Amino acid sequence: MLKETNVSLLSLVVPFLNERDTVQQFAAFGAKLKAEVKQRHQLDLELVLVDDGSRDDSIERYSAALEGEWRIVELSRNFGKEIALFAGIEESRGDYVMMVDADLQHPYDVCLEMIDALMADPQLDVVYTIRDDRRDESMRKAVLGEMFYWLINARQRFNIPPNAGDFRIMRRSAVDALLKVRDKRRFNKGLYAWLGFRQKAIHYTPDERVAGATKWSKLALLTLSLEGITSFTAIPLRIASIFGLLVGLGGIIYGLHIIVTALLYGADVPGYPSLMSAITVLGGFNLALLGLLGEYIWVAVGEVKDRPLYLVRRLHHSDKKENNG
Ligand code: UDP
Ligand code: MG
């Protein structure tokens, strides 16, 4: 983090997975930003890229195209964007750390706006962005999104802002705080909010990808949402317990009713429909509950195993030597 001069350093942390087609544009983006932050804020810029298990020649292309000071942390396989970002942040040395995607969906002007905002106010620790457009998203997805944020935000001491992503700039104090959080399952959006600090939001509309396709499948999004829920709220468990209690109470009352009726008027032939419906309702509910419990236990198991968050295969850097990581 400390440099010989007292010029401050800005680290640009960029995770990538098979982004060979966006390399040239990204290198140009980096070079332009480097010149501009130097001129505007006397900041040096270092690029810290993380190869999240790419199967193409992205690394070679970046090595050839990037200018100035850069490092590429090559992970041993695909660990997912959230963990790749963590690896990059750990590798970064900047007094400020900014995270952007490799596909240039994060507009250059918004990057500058964030840097300006942070530089202008010494009281601010973090400037983050809120994605504004829901153009290409269906109603159903928007409604699910609302429900999701309601659920993870209910009764928390901190609020997770909807549509705020990893695209943000943080002061070193906040970065170090984030590095202290050793959660294995990393739901970044939640962690950023959990940190606290003085944060400011900027609204923006993402650009189209310059090339390639999104790496998020529906299943990956669902998994991420579940991670958000299981690592930030116990409300589903609580709802399930309360519901279970109510159903149990109902069962007891109904049972008493049968016993009393039998004592007063003699035994009835038990009704097949009511029996069957009770079995299916309770059985189904039990299974759902078990699945839910399983989700939480799975998270707990992951934390207990205490494996490293990620493994580095190699560290590549701008003076063309290669270290074994
Ligand atoms: N990415 C990654 N690991 C993954 C998936 C994605 O490092 O497992 C990178 C990807 O190369 C890009 C950024 O994360 O730089 C955002 O991914 P993408 O553009 O696919 O997501 P979207 O913009 O569609 O949300
Ligand atoms: Mg993208």
Please give the number of the atom of ligand 1 that sits closest to the Cα of 101. 15
Protein residue closest via CA to atom 16 of ligand 1? 101
> Who surrounds ion ligand 2 at CB < 5 A?
101, 103, 105
Q: Give the Å distance between the CA of 56 and the centre of ligand 2.
A: 18
Express each pLDDT in 35-73 by its tens digit: 999 999 999 999 999 999 999 999 999 999 999 999 999
Q: What percent of the chain has pLDDT over 70?
A: 92
Protein residue closest via CA to atom 22 of ligand 1? 214
Range 77-85 average pLDDT: 95
Protein residue closest via CA to atom 21 of ligand 1? 214
Protein residue closest via CA to atom 3 of ligand 1? 81
H-run or E-run covering 15: strand 9-16
Range 149-162 average pLDDT: 84
- Nearest-10 crossing angle of helices 272-305, 235-265: 150
Given a contact cutoff of 8 angstroms between Cβ atoms, the answer to whether 215 and 17 are in contact is yes
Residue scoring higher pLDDT (224 or 77): 77
Tell whether ligand 1 has an atom less than 6 A from the beta carbon of residue 103.
Answer: yes
- Please give the backbone phi and psi of residue 145, each rounded to the nearest 5 degrees, phi first: -60, -45
Residue scoring higher pLDDT (280 or 107): 107
Q: Is the dihedral of CA 108, 114, 120, 126 positive or negative?
A: negative
| Complex prediction ipTM | 0.97
Express each pLDDT in 289-316 by its tens digit: 887 888 888 888 878 888 899 999 999 9
Q: Give the Å distance between the CA of 187 and the centre of ligand 2.
A: 18
Please give the number of the atom of ligand 1 that sits closest to the Cα of 17. 11
Alpha-carbon distance of 195 to 89, in angstroms, equals: 15
Tell whether ligand 1 has an atom less than 6 A from the beta carbon of residue 84.
Answer: yes
CATH 3.90.550.10 is right for the domain spanning 9-217+308-324? yes
Could you list the beta-strand ranges (E) of 159-291: 164-171, 199-204
Q: Which of 138, 224, 182 is nearest to 308 (CA)?
A: 182
Alpha-carbon distance of 289 to 238, in angstroms, equals: 11
Residue 268 pLDDT grade (very low, low, confident, very high; cuts 50, 70, 90): low
Express each pLDDT in 179-222 by its tens digit: 999 888 889 999 999 999 999 999 999 998 888 888 878 888 88
Express each pLDDT in 29-41 by its tens digit: 999 999 999 999 9
Please give the number of the atom of ligand 1 that sits closest to the Cα of 215. 20
pLDDT at 284 over 80: no
For ligand 1, mutation pick of 59, 89, 101 (most atoms within 8 Å of CB): 101
**Domain boundaries along the sequence of the chain:** 9-217+308-324, 235-305
Pairing between strand 69-75 and 44-51? Answer: parallel
Tell whether ligand 1 has an atom less than 6 A from the beta carbon of residue 310.
Answer: no
Range 115-125 average pLDDT: 96
- Nearest-10 crossing angle of helices 272-305, 218-232: 80
- Output the CA angle 244-248-251, nearest 5 degrees: 145
Ligand nearest to the CA of 26: 1
Tell whether ligand 1 has an atom less than 6 A from the beta carbon of residue 80.
Answer: yes
Q: Give the Å distance between the CA of 16 and the centre of ligand 2.
A: 10
- Give the chain's mean pLDDT: 87
Given a contact cutoff of 8 angstroms between Cβ atoms, the answer to whether 303 and 182 are in contact is no
Please give the number of the atom of ligand 1 that sits closest to the Cα of 209. 19
